[in-house]
Amino acid sequence: MNEREDITEIAPLLSSIEKRKVEVPEGFLESLEEKILREIQPKARVIAFKPSAFFYMAAGIALVMGLFWFLRPESNSPEQTVDLNALVSQLSIEEIDSFVMMDEYLIEEVYLEKTGTTTSPEIEYLIDDDVWSDELIIEYL
């Protein structure tokens, strides 16, 4: 006795109609096996072969580095910390020390700009004979 026979008496209307079929979207069942097998692969293997992961990682590193560069504290390099319009007498020991770290030409140029006078013979002497030191320059200025 099948299910149709055993409901004929109690449900004549239901047993007289055709059953509705469920229609499967095209291609769904055909691709199901591959989809399931992909799903159960170890995650690490998936990540290892995912090029976009490297792209996002590189972009993230670049962003962080960019932020560090943008928000970095002011540098102590001479070019950036010494105010070239200031008088020499207004410069701090640290700033003068920065001058000393520059090359000879720049030391002289800065001196001329700040004092408004000719190059000091003492400076020229020290520079020419290459005997000047940080201390001497600072002492002179």
Residue that the structure tokens 């520079």 belong to = 127
* Closest CB 53 distance from another protein, rounded Å: 17
Tokens of 105: 């030409």
Nearer to another protein by Cβ, of 46 and 53: the residue is: 46
Nearer to another protein by Cβ, of 18 and 139: the residue is: 18
To 10 degrees, what angle do helices 104-115 and 121-128 make? 180
Q: Contact positions toward another protein, by CB under 8 A?
A: 2-3, 7, 10-14, 17-25, 28-29, 32-33, 35-37, 39-44
Nearer to another protein by Cβ, of 25 and 51: the residue is: 25
Tokens of 2: 């099948």
Q: Name the burial class of residue 41, with classes exposed (0-12), middle (13-18) and buried (19+) by CB atoms within 10 angstroms of its CB.
A: exposed
* Closest CB 48 distance from another protein, rounded Å: 14
